[in-house]
Chain A
């Protein structure tokens, strides 16, 4: 774990006369420009995929805060994604609340649920926590089918939602939904960046790397861990709420425990303890199943497995690990 967070050498090297930091900012600006132009040049279906990727990226960021930065394993984040999705679906189905207002409500509910779930799990470390969260993932679809909640959740039938329509802007509904998701993504990433680069972030990493030492330094383990669990669940819940608007449908079968496993695959492939990695991970979990299906109808899961093993073999620290390694090589070459 610790090797992932090896402090990078201060960016003193200059590439083409600009510092690494300037290059990074330029890259970010370029990404933003592309993100704004993209929906007008690709097809509606491609836009759906891109929107799904950014929604997954939020969910992966949530899980990464917990697992990558804080070292708490969760095999149950699909459950928070499901709760977020269901909160939005139920609110849209049963009340007159506008769709945009359901997202923060879903986030707050997941924050509370995540925090409460985080409390008892403080006693559970490592594998034990993974198992407890796994139980949550397995139980969720069945709870959603439970007959006493039927009047809310619609049972196995699920809930059909009407997609939000563009608020008078000159764009199609799906383009608006993309920007709506993007409008959530950017502040959530900025918030996480602020949270993780400062004191709080250092505390989280310290707890991950050496809990005893962290406690000795005066970090309140219980408080940090449960709050991290809550914040992580909130991110994933918001992603679930956006995902529900995107799919326009929720049902227990949408959120089986494979979803939680896919999230874990996503953060490991993208790179643990990396914010940009969330996007790479999201691209992986969105596109590789389609690729596998395209290659073989007989055994798509086997293909998926092979690709996964291949990725882990070639990039043991995920996509971001690879990029950092290449970056260091490049730095050394330039320095010579």
Chain B
């Protein structure tokens, strides 16, 4: 009786596991695995299209080296023009026509929102999406969707922790753009400050993307008596804020979102000297930073660029991003050990243990688990010295989550 039960259990287990392994691997042939991707090669966000180019070149390099577990990677990247309706159409083409195994690094918040439900219903991994919104880590509701870069919310939490440590009596003012992006920062500050939020934050002000200036917001924030300012603004408004804060003689401890730290589009228009002392945070190595001129990791990236995209602009940080996220993908594929079923790819993507990526800042690890869908949760603070951003302090944030 006992023997029979055991046999029955074993048989049913086999029946369950056996065919799943062999049959349930769409997009995988004997020597090939198909990976789908959408990018804004045309339209308003086409500057990000280089990410797709970088990734295509990366997978070509992988194939030149023999592929992964005997499989060459067929990376199919298509244009969605940053239009969610087009993304839906293109993703259905990738899934139903091209029969890809899964989606990787599809770019944009609205575009990914449009396909998230479809992919989750079909149980197709939507891996390492290229957006900083916080909502890509909802492993309970969307088991098949995962982000990659630190979310805006994580970044704000790091600022909150820094303030609690260095300036526990700070009176904080918050200036944010009134959309998902800005609200993620407010949420992050609330996470970080906890029940001290209502005491420490003396004033919040928001602006609309359509506002011509944020001058009145800055003035009202100063009038609140705050000595610390957290700015979650896109580049144009960030430059205006820096200039206005300086012009009215306000000298708060100023935190600036990582989105608006470009030297060319924020610091120069604001006035290089007007932003001295501003603090931001970052997670990747900046290709223009002389600190990394002889860095082994960045040299690895430069060698790759020289061989596979010789005509590319090496100052474009999007290529560094592409290399880092593609390396993470490669790691997951290697960890699959030849079983590229959707189930296993997702399982391995949610089982990355302290992975080092050469283009990330030293000490920052990529880490996931079935209950942590935010692969990068660490950043390092940096300060504007009037000419360039200088890293300081230790890597902050909790890798394990």
A297 CB → nearest B CB, Å: 5
Which residue of the partner chain, among B53, B78, B88, contacts A249 with CB atoms under 8 Å? Answer: B88
Chain A residues lying within 8 Å of B97, measured Cβ to Cβ, are: 43, 45-46
Which residue of the partner chain, among A253, A293, A298, A304, contacts B84 with CB atoms under 8 Å? Answer: A253
Complex Cα–Cα for A155 and B177 (A): 13
A254 lies within 8 A of B209 (CB): no
A175 CB → nearest B CB, Å: 14
1/0 per residue, CB under 8 A from A, across B79-112: the answer is 1011111101100110011000000000011110
With A43-B96, A48-B92, A247-B88 as contacts: A158 and B114 at CB distance below 8 Å = yes
Chain A residues lying within 8 Å of B116, measured Cβ to Cβ, are: 160
1/0 per residue, CB under 8 A from B, across A137-156: the answer is 00000100111000000011
B225 on the interface (CB 8 Å rule)? no
A297 lies within 8 A of B49 (CB): yes
Complex Cα–Cα for A289 and B277 (A): 47
Which residue of the partner chain, among A43, A48, A142, A160, contacts B113 with CB atoms under 8 Å? Answer: A160
Chain A residues lying within 8 Å of B41, measured Cβ to Cβ, are: 293, 297-298, 300
With A254-B83, A258-B43, A297-B49 as contacts: A248 and B88 at CB distance below 8 Å = yes
B308 CB → nearest A CB, Å: 15
Question: In this complex, which of B52, B78, B85 has the most chain A Cβ atoms within 10 angstroms of its Cβ?
Answer: B85
B353 CB → nearest A CB, Å: 33
B117 lies within 8 A of A253 (CB): no
Complex Cα–Cα for A49 and B97 (A): 12
Complex Cα–Cα for A249 and B115 (A): 8
With A48-B92, A142-B209, A249-B84 as contacts: A157 and B113 at CB distance below 8 Å = yes
Chain B residues lying within 8 Å of A155, measured Cβ to Cβ, are: 179-180
Complex Cα–Cα for A247 and B88 (A): 6
Complex Cα–Cα for A209 and B231 (A): 57
Complex Cα–Cα for A43 and B77 (A): 21
B92 lies within 8 A of A45 (CB): yes
Chain B residues lying within 8 Å of A258, measured Cβ to Cβ, are: 43, 81, 83
A49 CB → nearest B CB, Å: 7
B371 on the interface (CB 8 Å rule)? no
A243 on the interface (CB 8 Å rule)? yes
With A45-B97, A297-B52, A301-B42 as contacts: A247 and B114 at CB distance below 8 Å = yes
Chain B residues lying within 8 Å of A146, measured Cβ to Cβ, are: 208
B178 on the interface (CB 8 Å rule)? yes
With A249-B113, A293-B42, A297-B53 as contacts: A158 and B92 at CB distance below 8 Å = no
Chain A residues lying within 8 Å of B86, measured Cβ to Cβ, are: 289
B264 on the interface (CB 8 Å rule)? no
B315 CB → nearest A CB, Å: 19
Complex Cα–Cα for A254 and B84 (A): 5
A44 on the interface (CB 8 Å rule)? yes
A148 CB → nearest B CB, Å: 10
With A147-B178, A156-B110, A158-B113 as contacts: A297 and B77 at CB distance below 8 Å = yes
Which residues of B come within 8 Å of A, CB atoms? Answer: 41-44, 46, 49, 52-53, 56, 77-79, 81-86, 88-89, 92-93, 96-97, 108-111, 113-114, 116-118, 178-180, 208-210
List 11 A-B residue pairs with CB atoms under 8 Å apart, sorted by A's residue number: A43-B96, A45-B96, A48-B92, A146-B208, A248-B118, A251-B113, A252-B110, A293-B41, A297-B53, A298-B41, A298-B53
Known: A249-B85, A253-B108, A297-B77. 8 other contacts (CB 8 A): A43-B96, A43-B97, A48-B92, A49-B89, A158-B84, A252-B110, A254-B83, A289-B86
Which residues of A come within 8 Å of B, CB atoms? Answer: 43-46, 48-49, 52, 142, 145-147, 155-158, 160, 243, 247-254, 256, 258, 289, 292-293, 297-298, 300-301, 304
